[in-house]
Amino acid sequence: MPRNLLAEEREQIIVLHREGFNISQIADELNVARATVRRWVERYENEGSLLDRVRIMPLRVAQQPQINQMLQHYSEQPFTATKVFAQKFECSVKTIRNYLHRNGVHNRTPAKKIGLTEEHRTARLRFAREFRDFDFSNAIFSDEKCFKSNQCGRQN
């Protein structure tokens, strides 16, 4: 597992590098990865420092009211492209998808099936009785599919 080097180890890398040791030799001597040695040598040459950089926590892209608004929009219009909100919040599409996934919105909303009413049952029974003796050998049947789309095709 990678670990952060202590300040003394970083200084030792630079001392050995100044003495003429190459990256592989330093890595073997200190038992650290060559990439780590290379990174610290390059950083020292570019910045002149071996101090830890200040880590800045990323800011939240959207506040909770905006996230709620986005979730409400997706519940009403599930085919809205994530690009729309990415542009609105000035962030990446992946960030918007992460917000949506964390809040249980995925691109796999099951279709809602309409339950049969008593009227439907009566109509089916009437059809079955009416066509009981009909020859269906030349008939073509198709399966029904519930889906949701918009009039313009895919929205961008």
Specify the pLDDT at position 79: 77
Query: What is the pLDDT at residue 27?
Result: 92
Is-contact 122 52, C-beta < 8 A? no
Residue 119 contacts residue 126 (beta carbons within 8 Å)? no
User: Which pLDDT value is given to residue 156?
Assistant: 46
pLDDT at 90: 77
Question: Is 15 in a helix, a strand, or coil?
Answer: helix
Round to whole Å and give the CA distance between 156 and 153. 10
| Encoded amino acid at 113, one letter | K
Residue ranges, the chain, pLDDT below 70: 1-3, 56-62, 108-112, 144-156
Contact 60, 98 (CB under 8 A): no
pLDDT recorded at residue 129: 95
Instruction: Give the integer Cα–Cα distance in Å for 23 and 29.
Output: 10
Q: Could you state, in order of their start, the residue ranges of all structural domains in the chain?
A: 7-47, 64-102
Both tokens of residue 16?
């050995």
